[in-house]
């Protein structure tokens, strides 16, 4: 078990990746919660909630351009995700660079509490210079737990270890396994079609 909270990165090679879709769906719920709270309080919505962050193109045809995207997640000592990026970065290295900037600026991060898509769900997102940069990793059943999580997450971000490795998504792992099997079959045939 790790001895300190850490940042893990995931890189996506397809817009259709299920993990990317899950991340995007959760982020949309956070965005909806932020819009609802902004309407209630009269606050201005952070400017990071813009279309370029949406990973799925609505008008994507059968052939889409090459895609690479990355996100980061903050994991607690027990490996539970406690926060995640609100950006879809161009790569895991771009995500890593931004995390290091956030760590250096963690004293200036502001937390905003929101309500989830279902009754009795509470969440949060955090801003730096009025730009939403991270959110909760899950919904909480009570506002007190949510606030506690937000404070802990910002504190943990400050000292979190940034992992050098990028986690392969399930789709990427399956594709790599299929390629390995095909290469092994080719080798077992004595190099035919290798």
- pLDDT (tens digit per residue) in 111-124: 999 999 888 999 99
Task: Give the model's pLDDT for residue 37.
Answer: 87
**Domain 6-170 grouped into CATH 3.40.50.300:** no
Please check whether residue 94 is in contact with residue 70, taking contact to mean a CB–CB distance below 8 angstroms: yes
- Calculate the CA 132 to chain-centre distance: 13
Task: Give the model's pLDDT for residue 16.
Answer: 85
Task: Give the model's pLDDT for residue 38.
Answer: 84
**Residue 60: pLDDT over 80:** no
**Residue 150: pLDDT over 50:** yes
Task: Count CB-CB contacts under 10 A for residue 65.
Answer: 7
Task: Give the model's pLDDT for residue 98.
Answer: 92
CA 61/CA 155 separation, integer angstroms: 43
User: What ranges do the domains of the chain cover?
Assistant: 6-170
Using only C-alpha atoms, what is the Rg of the chain?
A: 19
Please check whether residue 114 is in contact with residue 143, taking contact to mean a CB–CB distance below 8 angstroms: no
The order of strands in the sheet holding 110-115 is 110-115, 122-128, 131-136, 81-85, 69-75, 6-12, 161-168
Q: What is the model's pTM?
A: 0.75
Task: Give the model's pLDDT for residue 179.
Answer: 60
Tokens found for residue 148: 């506690």
Task: Give the model's pLDDT for residue 5.
Answer: 94
Task: Give the model's pLDDT for residue 177.
Answer: 54
CA 108/CA 128 separation, integer angstroms: 6
């Amino acid at each position: 078990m790790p001895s300190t909270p850490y940042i893990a990165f995931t890189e996506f090679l397809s817009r259709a990746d299920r993990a990317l879709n899950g991340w995007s769906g959760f982020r949309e719920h956070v965005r909806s919660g932020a819009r609802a709270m902004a309407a209630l309080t009269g606050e201005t919505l952070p400017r990071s909630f813009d279309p370029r962050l949406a990973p799925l193109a609505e008008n994507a045809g059968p052939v889409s351009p090459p895609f690479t995207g990355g996100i980061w997640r903050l994991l607690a000592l027990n490996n539970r995700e406690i926060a995640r990026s609100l950006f879809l970065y161009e790569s895991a290295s771009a995500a890593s660079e931004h995390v290091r900037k956030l760590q250096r600026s963690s004293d200036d991060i502001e937390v905003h509490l929101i309500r989830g898509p279902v009754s009795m769900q509470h969440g949060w997102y955090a801003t730096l210079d009025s730009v939403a940069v991270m959110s909760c990793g899950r919904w909480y059943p009570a506002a007190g737990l949510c606030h506690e999580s937000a404070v802990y997450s910002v504190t943990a971000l400050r000292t979190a270890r940034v992992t050098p490795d990028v986690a392969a998504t399930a789709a990427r792992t399956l594709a790599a396994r299929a390629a390995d099997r095909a290469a092994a079959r080719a080798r077992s045939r004595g190099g035919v079609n290798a």
